[in-house]
Chain A
Amino acid sequence: MIEEQTIIAVMPETLVAETRKMRDQGYRLVQICVTRLGEELQLDYTFDLNRKFVNFRFLQPKIGARVPSVSGIYWCAFTYENEISDLFGVQVDGNALDFKGTFYKTAMKHPFIQDAAPASVPAPAKPGDK
């Protein structure tokens, strides 16, 4: 085991208050991450203080996920929040610097909640064909 990783379940409603507590204790926001679990999205907010790892976690539905922004507490959260709204379609309320879906210029909307396209890598060219 490299390190202890504490995972705490929070509610979207209490997220902002809990995050403020972390900031007051001097934690650093490490990342915000979304994982698709079937029809649900799992949101992770990771904090670190002197290499002590704390993670907040809650679930949201795949379509119509909505979370409050923590960018009022950690301004740097704007990058992560734009990322999750562009790639996963999570609506973030009150982002300090909202790019409105233009942070990543992707060909399709919310690519990371789409199902994987069936054909994977094109088969290698057979000898003779160009």
Chain B
Amino acid sequence: MAFFQMKKMILAWTFRKPITTKYPFEPRKICPGSRGRLDIKISDCIFCTLCAKRCPTQALDVDRENKKWHIDRLRCISCGYCVEVCPKKCLNLTGDHGIPTVTKDMETF
């Protein structure tokens, strides 16, 4: 049995830089391959509605007639299913996680 086994670790970390960052002022390091905000290259989209049909949370709405593509960012869970099914590969998930919002709006492309 040892008394205060942690002293070594505490002593060592007393002289180190903290590993936490001052988050909102210092941007977070983004891991490559992280699933974040859904991005669309609208010029490639053929409005086939496949992504909207498959999306498990019904976050997407594709308007075939008017050639518009809508997304409800607060519904999207960044699962990547739409990215997989899109025949034109015009969707992708960026590592960026978006900004906070106070209204529930659809974003239109």
A and B interact: yes
Interface residues on B, range: 10 to 19
In the bound complex, residues from chain A placing their C-beta under 8 Å from that of B75 are: 124
Interface residues on A, range: under 10
Residue in contact with B104 in the complex, picked from A123, A125, A128, CB distance below 8 Å: A125
Report the Cα distance A128→B72, complex, angstroms: 12
Contact A130 B104 (CB under 8 A): yes
Residues 87 to 130 of chain A near chain B (Cβ within 8 Å): 121, 123-128, 130
Contacts of A124 in B (CB 8 A): 58-61, 70, 72, 75, 106
CA distance A47 to B67 in the complex (A): 57
A25 to chain B, nearest CB (A): 42
What is the predominant secondary structure among interface residues of chain A facing chain B?
A: loop
Instruction: With a 10 A CB-CB cut-off, give which of A124, A125, A126 has the most chain B CB atoms.
Output: A124
> Nearest chain A CB to B101's CB is how many angstroms away?
13
Q: How far is the CB of A12 from chain B (nearest CB, A)?
A: 40
Interface residues of B in 55-92 (CB under 8 A from A): 57-61, 68, 70, 72, 75
Q: Which of A27-42 contact B (CB under 8 A)?
A: none
Residue of A nearest to B75 (CB): A124
Shortest Cβ distance from A127 into B: residue: B106
B108 within 8 A of A: yes
**Which of chain B's residues have a CB closer than 8 A to the CB of A130?**
103-104
Tell which of B58, B60, B106 touches A126, judged by Cβ atoms closer than 8 Å.
B106
Which B residues lie at the A interface, using CB under 8 A? 57-61, 68, 70, 72, 75, 103-106, 108
